[in-house]
Amino acid sequence: MNKLISKLQKLSQQRPTMPKMTFLRKQLDSVEKHFVKGGKLERLHPLYDAIDTFLFVPGYKTENGPHVRDSIDLKRSMIFVVIALLPCLLFGIYNTGYQSNLLYDPNYSQNSLLTNILSNIWVGLITVLPIYIVTYSVGGLCEAVFSIVRKHEINEGFLVTGMLIPLTLPPDIPLWMVGVATVFGIVIGKEIFGGTGFNVFNPALVARAFLFFAYPAYMSGDKAWVVKPASYYPQGNVDYITQATPLGDLANTAYDGSSPYVSEVIGYSWSEMFLGLVPGSIGETSTLCVLIGALFLIVTGIGSWRTMLGCVIGMLFMTLTLNHIVGPLFVQENAFLFVAPHWHFVIGSFAFATVFMATDPVSSAHTDRGRYYYGFLIGFMGVLIRVLNPAYPEGMMLAVLFANGFAPLIDYYVVKANILRRQNRTAKSVNHSSVDSVEKKHEVITDPVEVN
Amino acid sequence: MSSYNLLKGHDIRLKGNPKKDIVDIPLSSHIAIHPAQYKGMKPKLLVKKGDSVKVGSPIFYDKTKESVKVVSTASGTVEDIVLGKRRIIEKVVIKVDGDESESLSIDKSEDFKDFLLNSGLWSYLRQRPFSKVPDPDIRPRAIFLSLHQTGPFSIDLEYLLKDSKKEIVDGLKLLSTLTDGNVFLTLKKGSDFLSDLDLDSNVNVNYFSGPHPSGNIGVHIHHLQPIANRDDLVYYLSLQDMISMVKTYNSGKYHFNKIVSCGGTGLDRPSYYKIRRGTLIRDIVGDIDSTIYRIISGDVLSGKTTSLDDSVNSFDEILSVIPEIKEREFVGWALPGLKKYSLSNTFVSSALGLQSSNLETGLNGSIRAIIPFGRWEKVLPMDIYPDFLVKSILAKDIDQMEKLGIYECDPEDFALCAFSCQSKIEVSSIIQSGLDFVELEG
């Protein structure tokens, strides 16, 4: 007995507390030979690499340059965006069920609270989960095919894109549309440019814009976005209900001489809009959840607070201009002109686009200074399109795509300013040194060099 | 005099910080001189195997600038000459025997420059751009020295040189004869090291504060008198090297001792070591299993991997010994990371305030495309856009590189960018390749 105890003690001293997963590691090592160059499955190396590095931190050693490295990698960075999106996702699931039940369940007001909550979650799950399954399987397939053909690693960027696409969609969207949009977003939005890191536009928004322009009847943002799960309510006596979204309401309201009470027009109070129990795209309705995500992104340093700040300032600037200058003086038939900034903040996808779409590091401006201008442009254009363009009640998606296109130009001027600053600084430092040395330098330069 | 408070950067907290005790290492049986370390020199050997040399005997000179030579730091016989790839002279090993010295006749009326060239101490100087041994025929615009060191395991020069103030005053005066511009001396903000010193009017004293790399000479040059173009030269050298020059100049006897700060968990006794230049690392730190530990001449950010049978790089004052990566962690990207070292706040360790870490040599992730989260900018206290500079280097666009400030750059200033990059981009190596490219083609 004593022997056994001492043996166990020895063993426990040898083994660290964390399981080492040596079995799994051995299995992976044993099949690795098939996937490396010259192996039978050489072409599938990206798949092996994806699984291998998913399970174990890569064992590469530093060669030169810094011999030690930060623990962060792209997987960690991307997974943190996914975590930041979780409040929106969970709330979106609940809200989808809630909106559906509210509209289609005749007994909703009589049911007990617990029954309602559970039923909301259930309806939300059976609506939202299929959308996610389609997005991740279709998108994952595209990603895998491209990485094998183009011989690059499977990139973690898709984790975020796949998370974002469903959240921007209305819950009643047909699944085939989700699939088509995902393919378009991944292939046209990202892979044809070379994959994550090379794309010009935000792939999730490219997918969303594709649906917007290809199937405008589903996507225009002014019609019912409430799902009716036929299987769940076979006895439901309502076939089809169109219910306007707040943005659609506002866009269709004429100006009657006095500033409108927004809450009367859209039928929801500001706090309800802020909390997000309103119809809309799956993940965009709750400004509160978006703000939780924003806080998370800013604290962890994954999302750029500069872009977010720029967006909010751009929105404030444009809204106040419309409220106080353009509205009263020029155009008066549109009530939307007089909607105050705090309403713009909670209506539609402003908050979501600001926090999760605009901050995509690849498609946004690449300089810190440029990020302010880039964000400003998004806030400015978003409100402009929302309010003054009758065809598109929601302008944020188009504004972000527009700014994506302008980001390189913004960077170009920021970098140019840096070049000018450098020229000024270095001109000063050359002037500091005395004339003598400058002359000597010229002597050296102009020395006749023997050629031939 | 002005002071600069730099906010960007990071001080890496490593375990095994050296103590400030100075351990004297006696002259050992062998010394090694590495001609390949002297950037910008095309070494032509003056000795062959079996030759006997004295302290101060020239070992090799530069084929392109014949007056520049490097001398032996000990007396004995040349035991071995190691050639590397493409017949680069990697190492000259001298078996030490006695301590006989070449006679050094110093004529104080001649130029300090001639003294440096004759004595072989010119090779202590380096120039920016390109961080190479300078051409004595071109006068520099300015000379930079720093008492403010910030790299991991770096030497506390103010502590070390507190008894050498007279040499510092003399040295600055002598150095100012090499340039028509200023001699810049940088100190840590709040230091009263110079309070009782009477410095030459040509000496421009400045104060810097902030995390690493606020002590890098490249950062100082950038803020004080940035480099305009490839012909706009400044010199820089270490203060220890300057004091060696002064002591040799004043006494007429070679002074080849220097203090090296040795740190890292691979060492039994992380401390300051006083060595003869060229002393083999084995004689300083004893036997170390190089499969378990990596021996780095220089700091862990910008140093070079070396071995026990080599000497500390002539320009380095730090020797780091850190553990090699041992094993691959299971689902490391998903764990809370209680002991993970990171500049990002994505591990629990940053909330708990991880004091110091025993960082290994792992890359800690897969290599990916450049994704500009803004991490590089956060650790680069210079008005340079690293992202755009790196891309212009990869595109080999010389014009753009020059506009974006390649001449102001040195890989060591960008080491933290590479450290903190989530895509594991080798920023330092790319900057070095850009410098090599413009030097050759520009």
pLDDT digits (tens, 9 = 90+) for A170-218: 888 889 999 999 999 999 999 888 888 888 999 999 999 998 888 877 6
Cβ contacts of residue A334 below 8 Å, gap of 6+?
A251, A254, A255, A387, A388
User: Got the DSSP string for B222-268?
Assistant: HHHS---STT--EEE--HHHHHHHHHHHHHSS---EEEEEEESTT-S
pLDDT at residue B297, as a whole number: 92
Per the structure, the count of domains in chain B is 3
Note whether B133 and B154 are same-domain residues: yes
Q: How far is B399 from chain A (nearest CA, A)?
A: 12
Chain-chain contact of B362 with A368 (C-beta, under 8 angstroms): no
Query: Which of A383, A386, A355, A405 is closest to A220 using CA atoms?
Result: A386
Chain-chain contact of B369 with A59 (C-beta, under 8 angstroms): no
Note whether B122 and B38 are same-domain residues: no
Distance from C-alpha of A249 to C-alpha of B132, rounded to nearest angstrom? 70
Best of B300, B346, B425 to disrupt the A interface (most A CBs within 10 Å) is B346
pLDDT at residue A62, as a whole number: 86
Q: Provide the percentage of residues in chain A whose pLDDT is more than 70.
A: 79
pLDDT at residue A81, as a whole number: 93
Q: How far is CA A386 from CA A242, A254, A335, A399, B89, in A?
A: 21, 15, 12, 10, 70
Of B387, B422, B427, the CB nearest to A366: B387
Note whether B10 and B91 are same-domain residues: no
Note whether B44 and B189 are same-domain residues: no
Note whether B109 and B235 are same-domain residues: yes
Compute and round to an integer the Cα radius of gyration of chain B: 22
pLDDT at residue B93, as a whole number: 93
Helix axes A287-300, A74-104, angle to 10 degrees: 170
**A364 in Cβ contact with A371 (< 8 Å):** yes
The b-or-e profile of A195-222 (16+ CB within 10 A means b, else e) is bbbebebbbbbbbbbbbbeeeeebbbbb
Note whether B34 and B22 are same-domain residues: no
Query: Which of B354, B315, B269 is closest to B12 using CA atoms?
Result: B354
B371 lies in a domain? yes
Neighbours of A291 (CB within 10 A): 15
Q: How far is B270 from chain A (nearest CA, A)?
A: 18
pLDDT at residue A238, as a whole number: 41
The mean pLDDT value of chain B amounts to 89
Residue A78 is given by DSSP the state H
Note whether B311 and B260 are same-domain residues: yes
B336 lies in a domain? no
Note whether B299 and B423 are same-domain residues: no
Is A147 part of the contact surface with chain B (CB cutoff 8 Å)?
A: no
Q: What average pLDDT does this structure show over A404-430? A: 91
**A184 in Cβ contact with A142 (< 8 Å):** no
Last residue of a domain, one of B66, B96, B126: B96
pLDDT per residue as tens digits for the range A310-325: 999 999 999 999 888 8
Distance from C-alpha of B320 to C-alpha of A92, rounded to nearest angstrom? 52
B80 lies in a domain? yes
Query: Which of B205, B317, B127, B388 is closest to A417 using CA atoms?
Result: B388
Is A56 part of the contact surface with chain B (CB cutoff 8 Å)?
A: yes
pLDDT per residue as tens digits for the range B154-190: 999 989 988 888 889 989 999 989 998 889 999 998 8
Judged against a pLDDT cut of 60, whether residue A433 lies above it is answered with no
Where are the domains positioned within chain A? 75-243, 251-278+304-426
Best of B333, B387, B404 to disrupt the A interface (most A CBs within 10 Å) is B333
Q: How far is A450 from chain B (nearest CA, A)?
A: 15
Residue B77: phi and psi, rounded to 5, are -125, 150
B343 lies in a domain? no
Q: What average pLDDT does this structure show over B140-150? A: 92
Q: How far is A23 from chain B (nearest CA, A)?
A: 12
Note whether B111 and B239 are same-domain residues: yes
Note whether B19 and B109 are same-domain residues: yes
Distance from C-alpha of B266 to C-alpha of B288, rounded to nearest angstrom? 7
The mean pLDDT value of chain A amounts to 80
Last residue of a domain, one of B96, B118, B135: B96
Neighbours of B338 (CB within 10 A): 11
Q: In what order do the strands lie in the sheet with B271-276?
A: B19-24, B271-276, B257-263, B318-323, B293-297, B304-306
**A119 in Cβ contact with A97 (< 8 Å):** yes
Note whether B84 and B160 are same-domain residues: no
pLDDT bracket for residue A14 (50, 70, 90): very low
Note whether B89 and B76 are same-domain residues: yes
Last residue of a domain, one of B53, B72, B96: B96
Is B328 part of the contact surface with chain A (CB cutoff 8 Å)?
A: yes
Judged against a pLDDT cut of 70, whether residue A156 lies above it is answered with yes
pLDDT per residue as tens digits for the range B214-229: 999 999 999 999 998 8
Chain-chain contact of B422 with A77 (C-beta, under 8 angstroms): yes
**Full domain range(s) for residue B381:** 363-441
Of A69, A367, A429, the CB nearest to B385: A367
Judged against a pLDDT cut of 80, whether residue B54 lies above it is answered with yes
Query: Which residues 378-437 of chain B have a CB within 8 Å of chain A?
Result: 383-385, 387-388, 403-405, 411, 415-416, 418-424, 426-429
Best of A62, A80, A295, A411 to disrupt the B interface (most B CBs within 10 Å) is A62
**CATH code of the domain in which B90 resides:** 2.40.50
Chain-chain contact of A301 with B373 (C-beta, under 8 angstroms): yes
Of B294, B337, B418, the CB nearest to A71: B337
Of A67, A79, A299, the CB nearest to B296: A67
Q: How far is B224 from chain A (nearest CA, A)?
A: 8
Chain-chain contact of B372 with A60 (C-beta, under 8 angstroms): no
